[in-house]
Amino acid sequence: MQTTSENAPQTALRFDNRFTRELPADPTPGNFRRQVTGACYSRVEPTPVAAPRLLAYSREVAELLDLHPRVWEDHAFTEVLAGNRVLSGMDPHATCYGGHQFGNWAGQLGDGRAINLGDVVNERGDRWTLQLKGAGPTPYSRTADGLAVLRSSVREFLCSEAMHHLGVPTTRALSLVGTGEQVLRDMFYDGHPKPEPGAVVCRVAQSFTRFGHFEIFAARGDTALLRRFAEYTLRTDFPHLGEPSRDTFIAWFEEVCRTTARMIVHWTRVGFVHGVMNTDNMSILGQTIDYGPYGWLEDYDPDWTPNTTDAAGRRYRFANQPGIAQWNLVQLANAIYPLIEQAEPLQAAVTGYAETYLQEWRDMMAGRLGFDSYRSDGDEALIDELLEILQLTETDMTIFFRRLGEWHVRPAEAATLDDNALLDPLMPAYYTPESLSEDTRSRTVKWLHGYAQRCAQDGLAPADRREKMHTVNPRYVLRNYLAQLAIDEAENGNDDGISELLEVLRHPYDDQPGKEAYAAKRPDWARHRPGCSMLSCSS
C-alpha cells in the first residue's frame, strides 16, 4: 500500500501541476487498459516495489531541482523515486498520445510505463516534470506490465546524462533505483524469456510532450481538444511566442522544425543513432527523448542501426535520421493543420527544417575539421571525400576525429613526408590497420594533403586548431560495450561501475589521465554480443 508523506526539508519540492490542473482528465477511474478519449491524461499511482535501492543519481539534475545533497542519504526519498511513496503536492498521471511507429499509424499509445509525478518549479522559476519510468502499468500499457529491467534502465540513465554533457539537447535523468524484484523479458522476442532485475529511472524534462500528443487528437477528429492542448503547450512551453493564435501556431511549428534540425545535427556530430525515431519518440522541444535501442557508431557505417527490430528495413539507420526527422515533422504538420487551415506556412516550415539542417551540418563539419568557417568553394568536396574514405575500412569515427585534431602537418612539410609518416597519427582509429588496402592508403594520404592545404588557408596555429576540434570531437562517448560492462556489474550486485562511467562521461571532451580505457575501440568480444552490437525494444 502506498503511503503519502509530507515533504521533509531536504526534499522540499515545490509542485505546480499545471498540466493536470488545466487539461481534461480521463473520467474513468481504475487502472485497467482501455482507450481513453476526450482526455489528455489518466490519474494513476506508481506500483510499490519490494526492496528499493538507490543505484546512482545525477548531482547536476538534483541541483536543477534544488535538492539538498543530504537527500540521497534518506531512504524515504529513495522510496519516492521507486514509486513507493507519493509526496504531498504530487499528482501522478499518465498521458495519452498516439504515434507513427516504423512509418505506420499505431493509434493510441500513451505512457504505458511512464508515470508523471508532477511539475516542480525551482527557485529560479524553471519548471521541471518528474517522471518515473518502469513504475508499473497504466491505462496505456496495452498488453505490457509497465515495468522496466535493469539493463535498459542503466542505459537510459547513463545516456540521458552523457548526451547532456556532450552538449546534445536531451531529457535528463535524476536517479536509478533497483526494485529488488524480477521482471520477465524476452530480450530479442525469440521465445526465450527470462527473469531479470527490475529498476526505475526518474526522468526529468521541461516537458515530455511529443509529436504523438497532437497526432492522437487529430486522428480522432477531436479538434477542440487538439486546440486546447496546443494552446496549453504554447502558454506553458513557448510563452515567448505570445498568446495562442494562428500566427503563433505557425511560429511554434517553425521553432519545432529548427530545434529538431539542430538536435539531429548534434546526433550526427557525435555519431549517435537513436534506433526508434517513431513520432511518439519525438519531443516538441527538440530534445532527445526515450533511450531504447540506441548506439554510437563504432566503425563509420552510415547504414548501421542498433535496433534488431529495424534490422531488415533499417529505417532508422544513422544516415537516415535527418530524413526521418523531416518525415516526422510532416506528420506533426498534418496533425496541427486544423488549427491553421493553410498548408503553405507548414510546408515552408518543413522546407526550413531542411535548410537549417544543411547550414548547421556544414558549420558543424567545419568545426569538427578545425576550420574557421565552412567555405562553399571547396569544403563540400573535401568533406564528401572524407566520409567516403571512412567507409573504405573499419574506422572508429570518434577516435579518427579526435586523432585528426592531433594531426599538425603544414603543406610544405606534408610534401616531404612519406605515406607512413602522414598516416601514423591516425592508425589508432583503424580496427585492423594491417589490412589497409593500397587504395585506401592512397586516397587517405591524398585527402590529408588537401586537408593540410585547407587548414593553412585559415592560418590557425596548430594549438588553436587542436583546441577548436577538441571542443566538438569527444574523446569519450557511451559506447555500448561500456554500458554493458556496467550492466553486468550491476546485475551482480556492484553498482560502482555505473557511477564510475558517469563520472568519465561528465567530461567527454577532456583528456582524463588514467581513464584511457574508456576511450578504447570496441573490443572483439563485443562485436556480436547482445547489448553491445545488438539491441531491441525490449526493456
Residue positions annotated with a catalytic role: 280
> How is residue 205 written as a grid cell?
524534462
- Could you give the residue ranges of the DSSP H alpha helices within 91-244? 150-166, 211-219, 223-237
Let me know: does 152 contact 113? Beta carbons within 8 Å: no
Q: How far apart are CA 213 and CA 364, in angstroms?
A: 31
Q: Is the dihedral of CA 505, 511, 517, 519 positive or negative?
A: positive
Cα–Cα distances in angstroms (integers) from residue 138 to residues 48, 392, 400, in the given order: 14, 49, 46
Q: How far is CA 455 from the centre of its chain?
A: 33
Q: How far apart are CA 81 and CA 79, in angstroms?
A: 5
Q: How far apart are CA 48 and CA 88, in angstroms?
A: 17
Three-state DSSP at 474 gives coil
Instruction: Give the residue from 146, 157, 240 showing the smallest Cα distance to 202.
Output: 157
Let me know: does 393 contact 437? Beta carbons within 8 Å: yes
Q: How far apart are CA 386 and CA 443, in angstroms?
A: 9
| Beta strands 172-185 and 85-87, pairing class | unpaired
**Residue 159: which region, alpha, beta or left (left: phi > 0; alpha: psi -120 to 50)?**
alpha
Q: Is the dihedral of CA 268, 274, 279, 280 positive or negative?
A: negative
Q: How far apart are CA 134 and CA 82, in angstroms?
A: 9
Q: How far apart are CA 333 and CA 187, in angstroms?
A: 35
Residue 457 identity (one-letter amino acid): Q
- Could you give the residue ranges of the DSSP H alpha helices within 369-437? 379-389, 397-404, 411-414, 419-423
What end-to-end distance do the CA atoms of the chain give, in Å? 26
Q: Where are the beta strands (DSSP E) in 35-152?
A: 41-43, 53-57, 85-87, 93-95, 98-101, 104-108, 114-121, 127-133
What residues have CB less than 8 Å from 19, skipping those under 6 apart?
40, 41, 93, 95, 116, 119, 129, 232, 236
Residue 203 identity (one-letter amino acid): R
Cα–Cα distances in angstroms (integers) from residue 495 to residues 59, 77, 462, in the given order: 16, 19, 42
Tell me the CB-side half-sphere exposure of residue 505, using CA atoms within 13 A. Answer: 26
